[in-house]
Amino acid sequence: MPRKAQELGPLHIKRLVEPGIHFVGGVSGLQLQVKETGARSWLLRVQIGGKRRHIGLGGYPDVSLAQARERAREAHDKIRKGIDPVEERRSLRLALNAASSVITFEEAANRWHKSKKQEYRNDKHADQVLSTLVTYANPIIGQMRVNEIGVDHVYNVLDPIWSTKTETATRLRGRIENVLAWATVSGHRKGENPARWKGNLDALMPKPGKVSKVIHHKALPIDDMPDFMKALRATEGTGSLALEFGILTATRSGEVRGATWDEINFDAKLWTIPAERMKAGKEHRVPLSKAAICVLEKAPRFENTNFVFAAARGGKLSDMTISAVLRRMKVAAVPHGFRSTFRDWCSERTAYPSDVAEMALAHAIGNKVEAAYRRGDLFDKRVQMMEDWAMLCGNGIA
């Protein structure tokens, strides 16, 4: 029968300074380890599954003799119940580490957004992507851990704006789905994506097309274009020139306002808009009619800016400046609406194929198969079309 260790008291423990292992009694296998450095800690020597193990119980004097004996008794109780205290502690530590690796939705959204930075068309688009998450998602799920977010939480984010701001809500849903997909792949969550639409949220919410109303941009009738263009050319200012140029080229307001002189090739009668400024993210070549060239020749050039239609202080012209031209003329249309007028003219008054008109408007090809095989931009066919459009608008050549 093994000799039972003498039960030492607190004062005796305090005096144990000799390096080595000292049995302190009171509980079988309880030891005080004294290192050469003077550091002291509690160990419990036990048999688990036929193997000798040493279990650390904490350092002395942070853990007192009484506390060490209590911890040792608890360890013996677990062993008698078939629980390995060492493995139990290891599992708890792994669980704690796993929990600490889980991040909030807000942090996940920021990391996802940063990882996708190169995919955005420009800084403005990048800001818009994150802004929707900050405005609508973060107040509800921003501080939640990504592994705690369920379908009901995503529903609570979307439901308030699903019927009133449907387009924004559908984009928001897709972005939440992307953030949570990033979190899953990055090891911060597991399981199904609660923001998935098909077979998930579509069972709880009406289809976007059933609740949203398509609001068309106010456009001018085709037959009103000649008189309108005549009146437009009678107005003065950079905003008027920019609007006229946008109408003649059937381009978007942002593309016109961002136009620079180095994008214009007068010899080739060509305006090349770089991909980063296009909605579809692809370079767009615009044939310039004689009337469009005339507008460019009227536009003043300034030394301190490269913009074709520069603001008074040399920066980019604001969107409101162009819209204000129509308000002053008391015309019930918006700048973007003239693209609709152009499209109607192509369909109703000309024999130009639909794909030529769509290419002029720089619309993305909806059919993925067709898009995969389409290599050209139908530029040569668009040259005559834009001249014909300019004729309808009155060529404006002085």
Task: Convert the pLDDT of each residue in 232-264 to its tens digit.
Answer: 999 999 999 999 999 999 999 999 999 999 999
pLDDT value at 376 more than 70: no
Secondary structure class of 168 (helix, strand, coil): helix
- CB 242, CB 317: distance < 8 Å: yes
How many whole angstroms separate alpha carbon 84 and alpha carbon 265?
79
According to the model, what pLDDT value does residue 121 have? 67
Residues in the chain: 398
How many whole angstroms separate alpha carbon 316 and alpha carbon 309?
7
How many whole angstroms separate alpha carbon 222 and alpha carbon 174?
38
Cα–Cα nearest to 257, from 300, 317, 299, 212: 317
Q: How many CB atoms lie within 10 A of CB 167?
A: 12
Phi, psi of 54, rounded to the nearest 5 degrees: -115, 125
According to the model, what pLDDT value does residue 112 have? 94
Task: State the Cα angle at 179 between 174 and 184, rounded to 5°.
Answer: 120
Q: Where are the alpha helices (DSSP H) in the chain?
A: 10-15, 65-80, 85-100, 105-115, 123-132, 138-141, 151-162, 166-185, 208-211, 225-233, 238-249, 253-257, 290-298, 319-328, 337-349, 354-360, 368-373, 379-392
Q: Which fold does the domain 10-92 belong to in CATH?
A: Double Stranded RNA Binding Domain (3.30.160)
pLDDT single digits (tens) 31-51:
999 998 889 999 998 888 778
| 10-92 and 105-211 have identical folds | no
**The residue to which tokens 């949203």 are assigned:** 212
According to the model, what pLDDT value does residue 213 have? 55
* Segments making up each domain of the chain, as ranges: 10-92, 105-211, 222-392
- pLDDT mean across residues, the chain: 87
**Higher-confidence position of 96 and 158:** 158
Q: What is the pTM of this model?
A: 0.54
Overall average pLDDT of the 307-336 stretch:
89
CATH class of 222-392: mainly alpha
The count of C-alpha atoms lying within 13 angstroms of the C-alpha of 394, restricted to the half-sphere facing its C-beta, is: 15
pLDDT single digits (tens) 96-143:
555 555 799 999 999 999 998 878 767 777 888 899 999 999 999 999
- CB 176, CB 132: distance < 8 Å: no
| Domain 105-211 listed as CATH 1.10.10.10 | no
